[in-house]
Each structure stands twice: as structure tokens, then as C-alpha cells.
Amino acid sequence: MLCFFCVALKNGSFGSPIEELINMKEIRQIITLYDQLKVEDVPAALAIVVEVEQSSYRRVGARLLVAEDGRFTGGISGGCLEGDALRRARRAILAKVPSFHVYDTLDGEDEVIGIGLGCNGRIKVLFLPIDYHDPANELEVLREVTATREPRLFARLLAGHDSSPPPVYLYAPDQLDHLADYLDVKTPALKHLAEEYLQAGRTKVAKITNTAGRQTPVLFEIIQPEIHLVVTGTNYDIPAALAAARQLGWRTTVVGPRRKFTAEIASLADQLVDYAEVSNIIIDQATAIALMSHDFDWDRRMVEHFLPRQPRYLGMLGPRKRVESMATELPNLDLLAFANLYSPIGLDIGAETPEEIATSLVSEVIMVFRNRNGKALRDRKGSIH
């Protein structure tokens, strides 16, 4: 029992602990189409992955926006579910009623409906008609968090009372009292549980049991801020790094001599900052720093500035002896003991060209933010998620 109710995390079935960083780039693309459809008054529905068992291409939180006229953006699979999902979404638009559907390929449903999923898993999808007149509809709620720089938590009911459909709201932390009333549990206990999940930074499905013995599955979805990549320098390898980050939907800031910023760098970066203004950059837990100036003195100054701010990722271009030499010049910082230092920068993939180096860099940043080790997936035991 936990403060008047108990929580059971299902292991190896719907609700097993999973980790998902919501693709903020995809959310923005969905909101862009949503805004167009709202202006044109074209009905639409959102398909949302809410539970996953075993294998799937996309994880909990993946979304697909479908318009009545056939336009769509986003995705809930590698393309194998989308055809059927488009049909079900349009049915939801016509019915104006939310519905759930489970794609069960463990039992061979892919052969029955002809989707050829091939992932050997079960995927539960919510089909949610969008009410443009509701200022609290799901996409308006998501719009508010696209600029967040801190993890945000939302709760969603996955089942109602006595087989009735559940309310399909996204409950923010300040709305958990309404969810607690529905579940018939104590609000402080529910908020404590939500805070634990938020601190862990992992999306989870929990089965919450109240004192009357009624169990209800609740999805606690964590939406993480987009990565902010700060690179220093203005050399030939900077545009490739910026282009790779842009493709991933990351924010980018370039630090260097303002007079040396090229038109190409300016077109690819979200922000340009002169070395003299570097203190204006806000460093948070979603910020990665890559020192790529090829200038030992400027890299040393940037280490002096950034290291005390304890970034989650601090990478430095160049051979190992370079960072070792720098460490001797900065004895008070104990540079080599900083756990988040990555130098030489990037994963060991044999990168040589600027584009390959950029791939190595962004791959290493992803590895760090996903708490992985960067080894080949064929050597990983168990699920890749």
C-alpha cells in the first residue's frame, strides 16, 4: 500500500517501464498542420500510441495527426500501421467519439488486417477527434510545452469505470486532484507518485489500485525539452554539425568571433553569440556543449566558462593529448575528472569528413542523453528500448 492506494507496474506486458523522449520536431510539425486545418475548418483526429508490449518501431507518445481530407503528419509506426490508422482516425472524426484499438501481432493479427507489422508486439492506440473550439484540446496543451526547458509530466487514463470509456484528457500536475477524484485515491499520494516518475524522467504506465480494490491503468507521460547544442568556432566543420542538429529538431547556438560568422552558419543556427557575450547563454540539463574552434586558447577560455556550470555533455574536438595539455593549465578545475567530458569528441565510427564528424558528434550526444553506451545493437541483450 502507498498512501491509501497501491501501484503495480506491469512487467513484460502492457505497462512495462519504457523510456521515450518525445520528438519535439514532430510535435511542431503536427501543430503546424493542426493550425492550417483549424483555419480551414477541416475536421481532424489524433492517433496516439498509449501502450506497447514487447517490440514496436515507435514507443509510447508517438502521434499521428489525420485530417478528414486525407492530409496527415507524424507517425505511430515505421509505416506499417499508418494505413489502418488513417482509416480508424477518419472513423473517429465521423463518429466524434474517442476510441482505442490494439494492434496485436503476437497473435497474428497482422495477417488478418494485412498490415505486415513484423515487430512482434502489441500496440494500443488512442484515436482522438480534435475539437477546435476546446482551448484545452490535446494539441493546444502540447503547444504550451514546445518551448519548455524542463521535463513536463502529463497523466492519461487508459480505462474507465466498469468498461466505460475513460475521460481522454491530459492531466497536468496541477490537475491531478481531478484525476485523484476519478480514481478515488488521495491526491497527495498521486502527486508524490507523479513526482517520482518526473524525477526519473521515464514514461510509465501504472496500474493504480484504490482502497476499494478497483484497478485503473494510468499513463504518466514525460515530455522532455529538445536538446540545445552549443558549438564554438566558425570553421568548415561547423555547418555540418548545425545541419545534423537541425535535422534532429535541436536548438543550436554558435559561439565565436562575430565578424567571422558566415552566411551559411547564420542560416543554420538559431542563435549567434560572440565570445564576449557567452555568459548570456543559459545552460540547463538539456544543453550539450561542443568546443570545435580549433583554437587552443579559445577552447581553454570556454572550458573555464562552461565547466563550472556542469553541462550534461561537454565535448572537445582534437586528440587526447590536447585536453591533457589543457588540464595542466587549469589545475583548479580538475578537467580530466569531470564525468561529463567527452574528448576526443564523438563516437568511434572512423569519421573523417565534416559530415561524418557531425554524425559522430550528434550520435554521442544522443547516447549521453539516452543513457546508453553506443555499442552495436546486435550486441545488446533484450529489448532495444
pLDDT, block means (10 residues), the chain with 385 residues: 40 34 79 96 93 69 91 80 85 91 67 48 87 93 88 90 83 92 92 91 86 89 92 96 95 97 97 97 95 96 96 95 94 94 95 96 95 84 62
**pLDDT, tens only, 166-200:** 888 899 988 999 999 999 999 999 999 999 999 88
- Pairwise CA distance, residues 363 & 365, whole Å: 5
pLDDT digit string, tens, across residues 39-95: 999 999 999 988 887 655 567 888 999 999 999 998 887 667 778 888 899 999 999
Q: According to CATH, where is 3.40.50.720 located in the chain?
A: 228-369
Closest CA to 239 of 262, 271, 273, 259: 262
Partnered with residue 253 across adjacent β-strands are 230, 271
Residue 265 CA from chain centroid, whole number: 26
Q: Where are the beta strands (DSSP E) in the chain?
A: 6-8, 44-54, 63-67, 72-74, 99-104, 121-129, 152-157, 204-209, 215-223, 228-232, 251-256, 271-274, 287-291, 313-316, 341-342
Long-range contacts of 145-148 (CB under 8 A, 24+ apart): 145/223, 146/24, 146/27, 146/28, 146/31, 148/223, 148/225
CA distance 89 to 46: 7
Question: CB neighbours (10 Å) of residue 137?
Answer: 21
228-369 architecture in CATH? Answer: 3-Layer(aba) Sandwich (3.40)
